[in-house]
C-alpha cells in the first residue's frame, strides 16, 4: 500500500505556504482566510488561484469557522458550507476539498485508503488539549467504518518547541494532564511540544507510526509561512485534501 498521503493518485493533498497568491497589502501573499484583515475579494482571488492550480471547484470547498474546540462535522454534498463552526471536517464524498487554515496551529490531514474517507483538522493548543485528533478518528470509525490501522496522517508546518513558549501555569497544567515530556525548560522558560502530544494521541488510537508524517519545519522560524506568534497580524496558510473523481 502507498503510505504517502501526498503521492496518491486517488486524492489531492497539499499544504500551502505564503507564496503563489496575488501580491498586494496587507500580506503580499497567499492568505486564504477572510477573518484576518485582508479584503474578502482578495482572499477569494487567492482561493481561486489555489482552486485553479490544484484543479478543484471553488464552490465545493469546505472551510471552517475554527473556534479552538473539538467539534467534528461530517460533510456531504448537500452540506451548507457557510455554517461550519467547528475545528474538524470529514467526508467520504468525492470532489469536496476540505480546508483547514492555520498560522502556528497544526493543520492535520487524514486519509483512509481502504474506506476512501478523508479529514482535515485544526489542532492548536486548545484543540490538542481536547484531543481533537482522537475525536476525528473516532468519528471516521463511526461514520465510515474506518480502521485506525489503515489511516494515513500528515501534520503540516506549525510552531515547534523551539518557539512555542508558554507561561508556567500552562506548563504545569500540561504536565499535570499529559506528562512532563511535552514541556521543555530552557533558561527558566517553558516550551510546549504540540507535535509530540498529537503524535502520542495518534499512537494511543492505534494509528501505525509508519503512517504518520510530521513536518519538522517551524512556522515561527520559517518565514515562508504565516506565524501568529511572530507577526500577530498575519494571514493563514492551508491544508487541503480531496477525494478525486
> Rule CB under 5 A: is residue 186 a binding residue for Zn ion?
no
CB of 160 to Zn ion, least distance (A): 5
Q: Which residues pair with 186 in a beta bridge?
A: 189
Residue whose CB is less far from Zn ion, 128 or 134: 128
DSSP class per residue in 176-204: HHT-GGGEEEETTEEEE-HHHHHHHHHHH
Q: Is 85 exposed, middle or buried (0-12, 13-18, 19+ CB in 10 A)?
A: exposed
Distance CA 5, CA 13 (A): 7
Per rule CB under 5 A, is residue 218 in the interface with Zn ion?
Answer: yes
Q: Is 173 in the site for Zn ion (CB under 5 A)?
A: no
DSSP state of 102: E
Q: Does 185 bind Zn ion (CB under 5 A)?
A: no
- Among positions 127-166, residues that touch Zn ion (CB under 5 A) are 160, 162-163
Length of the chain: 245
Q: How many residues bind Zn ion (CB under 5 A)?
A: 6
Q: In angstroms, what is the minimal distance from the CB of 229 to Zn ion?
A: 9
Nearer to Zn ion, 160 or 174 (CB): 160
Instruction: Find the shortest distance in angstroms from Cβ 210 to Zn ion.
Output: 26
Q: How far is the CB of 219 from Zn ion (least distance, A)?
A: 8
Closest CB 33 distance from Zn ion, rounded Å: 21
Q: Of the two residues 100 and 218, which places its CB atom closer to Zn ion in the complex?
A: 218
Instruction: List residues binding Zn ion (CB under 5 A).
Output: 160, 162-163, 218, 220-221
Amino acid at each position: 500500500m502507498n503510505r504517502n498521503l501526498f503521492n496518491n493518485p486517488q486524492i489531492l493533498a497539499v499544504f500551502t505556504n505564503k507564496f503563489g497568491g496575488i501580491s498586494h497589502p496587507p500580506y503580499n501573499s497567499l492568505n486564504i482566510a477572510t477573518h484576518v484583515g485582508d479584503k474578502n475579494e482578495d482572499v477569494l482571488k487567492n482561493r481561486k488561484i489555489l482552486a485553479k492550480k490544484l484543479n478543484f471547484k471553488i464552490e465545493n470547498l469546505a472551510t471552517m469557522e475554527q473556534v479552538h474546540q473539538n467539534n467534528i462535522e461530517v460533510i456531504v454534498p448537500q452540506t451548507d458550507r457557510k455554517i461550519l463552526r467547528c475545528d474538524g471536517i470529514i467526508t467520504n464524498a468525492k470532489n469536496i476539498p476540505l480546508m483547514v487554515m492555520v498560522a502556528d496551529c497544526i493543520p492535520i490531514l487524514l486519509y483512509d485508503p481502504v474506506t476512501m474517507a478523508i479529514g482535515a483538522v485544526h489542532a492548536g493548543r486548545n484543540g490538542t488539549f481536547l484531543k481533537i485528533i482522537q475525536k476525528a478518528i473516532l468519528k471516521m470509525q463511526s461514520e465510515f467504518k474506518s480502521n485506525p490501522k489503515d489511516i494515513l496522517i500528515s501534520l503540516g508546518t506549525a510552531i515547534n518547541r523551539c518557539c512555542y513558549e508558554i507561561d508556567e501555569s500552562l506548563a504545569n497544567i500540561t504536565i499535570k494532564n499529559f506528562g512532563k515530556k511535552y514541556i521543555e525548560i530552557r533558561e527558566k522558560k517553558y516550551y510546549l511540544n504540540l507535535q509530540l502530544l498529537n503524535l502520542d494521541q495518534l499512537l494511543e488510537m492505534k494509528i501505525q507510526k509508519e503512517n504518520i508524517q510530521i513536518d519538522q519545519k517551524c512556522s515561527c522560524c520559517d518565514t515562508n509561512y504565516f506565524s501568529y506568534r511572530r507577526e500577530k497580524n498575519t494571514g493563514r496558510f492551508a491544508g487541503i485534501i480531496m477525494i478525486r473523481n
